Structure 1
Amino acid sequence: MFLQFIRHRNKAWIKLLSILLLWLSLCTLLLMHYGLQFPSALIDSTIFSLLLLLGFMLLENIFRFYLPTKSNVILVFILPFILSLVILFLGDFLIKWGIPEAFFNAEFLNSIFIIRGFIILLIFTAYSLMLNFQGKLEEQAAAEDREIKMQQMAKEAELYQLRQQLQPHFLFNSLNSISALVKAKPEKAREMVLQLSDFLRGTIQKEANKWIKVEDEISFLNLFADIEKVRFGHRLQVNFKVEEGIREFKLPHLMVQPLLENAIKHSLYGLTGEVTIQVNLKKREKNLEVVIKNPFDPQAGQVKGAGFGLEAVRRRLFLIFGRYDLLKTNAVSQQFTVELLIPQLS
C-alpha cells in the first residue's frame, strides 16, 4: 500500500513528505506536552517516525512476495510483534545515544517504554492486517480475471471452430454441384468455380475482421446466391430488400449466409418448380433485423426443427451476445420464417 502509493501516484513524494511532516509535528507537540524539551521531543519523534516508516516498507515487501495461508495466518500477528520489539529497543538505544545529556530524561523514557511499544504493536498489526486483506482482494481479482480470460479464449476457440465448420459445409455442397456440372454443362461448372473462388477469397480476407458492414455482407450474400443459382438454375430466385440507412450497420461475418443456405436447401429439396426466397434487412429500434422467408412443403418433412445452419448461428449468437432470444423461427402454412436480431455494439 505504502510503496504502491509512491509508485502509482503523481507527485507522491510531495504528498508523503507533507504527511510525514504533519505526523512529526504532532508527535513532537505531544512529547513536549508531557514534559520533554523541544530538541529532545524532535529527535525522539524523528527517530521513531523513520523507524515506523522502515517497518511499513519491510512489512509491505514481505507480504507482497508471501501471503500467509489459513494454516499459517499466525504470521500476520507474529511478524508485527517481532518488528515492534526490534524497533522499540533500537529506537530507545538511538534516542539515548542521540539526545544530549542536558536534555536527556531517562525517567520519562522508561515510563513510556511499554506504552510506546504497545502503540507500535497496534500500528504494525493493523497495517499487517490491511496488507493481507488487500493481498486477498488482489488474488481474488486476479483469479476472476484469469477465469474471464479463459472463458473468452474458450468462446473464441468455439467461434473459430463453428466458422471452420460452416465454410466446409457450404464448400462440399458446391464442389458436388461442380462435379455434376463438369460433364453436362462445363461452362456452368467453370462459372461456378470462379464464383466460388471469389466467395472463398472474400471470406478468408475477412477472417480477421469479425464484424463487417451490412453492405459488405449483402455483397457476399449476392455472390452466394449467384453460386446457388448456377446449381439450381431458373428454379431459384433470391430477392434482397435493404432498408435505407442501415448499410453502415455491422454484423458478425457469415452470420446470415448459413440461414440463407438453410432456406435454399429446405425449399428446393422439398418442392418442385420455382422457389422465391425473400431476404429483408431493416432497422428495429437501434438494432439490425434480418428476416428470411422461404416456402416449404410441410408434408415433405424437410423443415423439422433446426438444421446445422440454424444451430450454428444460434450458438454463435450466444457466444457473442450471451442471449438465446436473438434467433426465432416460425412455420405457418407453407412458409418458413427466420428472424435474426443483431444488437449494434457501440
Structure 2
Amino acid sequence: MNNEISYFTGVLGIYIRWCTWQRIGYLVVVGFFSGLMVVQTEIADALIRGEIGLTWQPWVATYSSVISFIIVSPFLIYSCELWPFGKAHVIKTTIKLALLYIPITLCFITIMLILRNSIHLMIDGTLFDSWDLIDRYIYEFPKALTIYLIFIFVTYTKINYDHSQREQLNAANLQNELHTIRMQTLRSQLQPHFLFNTLNLISSTVYQDADKADSIIARLGDLLRYSLASEQKPFVTFKEELQAMQSYLEISQLRFDERMALEIAISPATKLVLIPTMLLQPLLENAVKYGIEPSNEIGKIILESTLKNGLLEIKITNPLRQRTQQQESFGIGLQNTKDRLKLLYQEQASVSLESNHHDQITLTLILPAQYLENTHE
C-alpha cells in the first residue's frame, strides 16, 4: 500500500513539475499538427462515404483524443523515467509498461469521451454517439495501443539521449578538471626546480662577491613576482614572457660573467602572440646548464622568434658541450615543457632538438599563433 501511495504521490509531483509552459506549448504544437493530419484523413474518408454534411465532428473527434493524451502523458513519462529499460531491466520494465497500459488507456478514453460528449451537447444538444459505453471502451481500448507504443519509444529515446548528453558533459568537465590539475602540477614542479638552482647560485656567490649576490637576489625577486602575478594566467604575450626572462638571463650572466654571451633576435610580429606562462624559463635554463656551465670556454646563447604561416617559431641555440647527456637526458624542465604543450595544443605544437656543425644545438618550439581579442600586429 505504501508503495502505491509513494508511486501516485510521485506521479502527482512529476505532473506538477513537468507541466511548464514550455512543455505544454511543445505538446500543443506537436498535437495540433498531428491532429491536423488525422483530421484531413477523417474528412476525406467521410467524403468518400458520402457524409458531406460533416464539418466540425472530425475536429472534435480528433482533438479530443489529442488533448486527452496530452493530459495523461506526464504520468507515462514519469513511469518511463522511473523504470529503466536497460538490458538488466528489459523484461521487468516491459511487464510494468504492459500493465500500465490498462490504467493509462482507461483514463485516456474516459477523458476523451467526456470531452467529446460535452462538446457535442454544447453544439447540437446530442451525445457523441449512441453506442453503449462498454462497447465504446472495448472499441477504443486496442486503438490506443499504437499511440501508446510510439509514445513510449519516443520517451525512452529522449531519456537515453539526455542521459548520453549528461555523461558527455560530465566527462568533459572531468577532463577539464584533470587537465587543470595536470597543468598546475607541471607548473608547481618547474618553480621549485628553478628556485633550487638559483638559491644554489646565490649560496655559491654570496661569500665571494656580495654585490653580485645582491644583484642575483634582486633579479630573482623580479622573476618570482612575475611567476606569482601570472599564477592565474595560463597564457601571456611573448613580449611579457621575454621581459621576465631577461631577469633570468641576467642572473646567469652575473654567474658566468664573460663566459656567457647572449644574442636576442625577436621579430616584432611575435611580441603579441600568446604563449604558456613560464614556457621559456626551463628551456633557457637547459641552454645554460648544458651549453655554458660544463666548460670554461666562452659560449653564446641565441634566442630567436619568427612568425610563419600562422605559427610562432622560437629557437634557442647554445654550445654543444655534452651531446650524449643533452640528447638523452632532457631533465624535468624540457620534459614538462613537452607535456604542457601536449596538453594545451595536442598535435599542433612541436619541440625538436637539432645539432649544428657539431658545436651547437638548437631547440625549436613551434606553436599556433594565438592572440588576445582585438589585439593583433
Q: TM-score range by the shorter chain?
A: 0.7 to 0.9
1:290 maps onto 2:290 in alignment: no
CA distance in 2, matches of 1:77, 1:198: 74
Q: Which amino acid aligns with 1:142?
A: R
Q: Which moved more, 1:68-77 or 1:154-163?
A: 68-77
Q: Distance in 1 between matches of 2:243 and 2:201?
A: 22
- Consecutive unaligned residues in structure 1, runs of 5 or more: none
CA contact (8 A) 1:328 1:339 kept: yes
Aligned match of 1:69 = 86
Give the Cα separation in 1 of the matches to 2:137 and 2:41: 15
SS at match of 2:279: coil
Instruction: Give yes or no for contact 1:289–1:342 (8 Å, CA) kept in 2.
Output: yes
User: Residue 14 of structure 2 aligns with which residue?
Assistant: none
Q: Are the counterparts in 2 of residues 331 and 337 from structure 1 also a CA contact under 8 Å?
A: yes
Distance 1:104 1:280, change over 3 A: closer
Secondary structure of 2:269's match?
Answer: coil
Alignment of 1:178-197 (within 5 A): 178-197=202-221
Partner of 1:343: 368
Equivalent residue number for residue 5 of structure 2: none
The alpha-carbon distance between structure 1 residues 242 and 4, as it changes in their structure 2 partners (threshold 3 A), is farther
User: Which position in structure 1 is the counterpart of 2:36?
Assistant: 22
The Cα of 1:69 is off from its aligned counterpart by 3.4
What is the CA–CA distance in structure 1 between the aligned matches of 2:160 and 2:368, rounded to whole Å?
38
Which of the residues 71, 74, 78 maps onto 1:57?
Answer: 74
Matched-pair contact (CA < 8 Å) for 2:117–2:127: no
Give the letter aligned to residue 22 of structure 2: R
Q: 1:20 to 1:130 in 2, by over 3 A?
A: closer
Greater mean alpha carbon deviation, residues 296-305 or residues 202-211: 296-305
For 1:135, the equivalent position in structure 2 comes to 159
Report the secondary structure of 2:177's partner residue. Answer: helix
- Identity percentage over the alignment? 19
Matched, 1:248 2:268: no
Return closer, same or farther for 1:328/1:116 CA change in 2, 3 Å cut-off: same
Q: Using the TM superposition, give the Cα deviation of residue 294 of structure 1 relative to its aligned residue in structure 2, in angstroms.
A: 0.7
Q: Secondary structure at the match of 2:270?
A: coil
Counterpart AA for 1:290: I
User: Which digits, 9 at most, give the CA deviation of each residue in 1:167-209, with x for residues without a partner?
Assistant: 1111111111111222111111111111101110011101111
The 8 Å contact of residues 72 and 107 in structure 2, kept in 1 or not, is answered as no
Inter-partner Cα distance in structure 2 for 1:302 and 1:171: 21
3-state SS in 1 of match to 2:347: coil
Counterpart residue number, 2:338: 314
Change (3 A) 1:212 1:63: same
Change (3 A) 1:183 1:8: farther
Displacement of 1:86 in angstroms is: 3.0
Do the aligned partners of residues 103 and 157 (structure 1) sit closer, same or farther apart at CA in structure 2, a change above 3 Å counting? closer
Task: Please give the per-residue CA displacement for 1:290-309, whole angstroms capped at 9, x wherever unaligned.
Answer: 11111122478455342221
- The offset of 1:17, in angstroms, is 8.1
- Residue pairs, 1:101-140, within 5 angstroms: 102-107=126-131, 114=138, 116-140=140-164
SS in 2 for 1:69: coil
Q: Determine the C-alpha separation between the residues in 2 that align with 1:299 and 1:99.
A: 97
Match of 1:150 among 174, 180, 184: 174
Change in Cα spacing, 1:340 to 1:76, as seen in structure 2 (3 Å) is farther
Residues 90-133 of structure 1: CA distance to partner in whole angstroms, max 9, x if unpaired?
A: 53466567754745532498777555333322112111111101
Inter-partner Cα distance in structure 2 for 1:274 and 1:116: 99
User: Which consecutive unaligned segments of at least 5 residues does structure 2 have?
Assistant: 1-17, 372-377
Tell me the C-alpha RMSD between the 2 structures: 3.4
Question: What pairs up with 1:191-270 in 2 under 5 angstroms?
Answer: 191-270=215-294
**Deviation by residue 1:231-275 (Cα, 9 ceiling, x = unmatched):** 222211221111132211111111121111101000123222211
Q: TM-score, normalised by structure 2?
A: 0.79
Distance 1:240 1:8 in 2: 64
Preserved CA contact (<8 Å) 1:81 1:121: no
Distance 2:98 2:27 in 1: 29
User: Which residue number in structure 1 is paired with residue 197 of structure 2?
Assistant: 173
Contact 1:259 1:309 in 2 (8 A): yes
TM-aligned CA distance change 1:115 to 1:156, over 3 Å? same
For the residues of structure 2 that align with 1:136 and 1:227, how far apart are their CA atoms?
60
Give the direction of change, closer, same or farther, for the CA distance of 1:5–1:20 in structure 2 (3 Å limit).
farther
Q: Is the contact made by 1:24 and 1:49 (CA closer than 8 Å) also made in structure 2? A: no
Give the paired residue count. Answer: 343
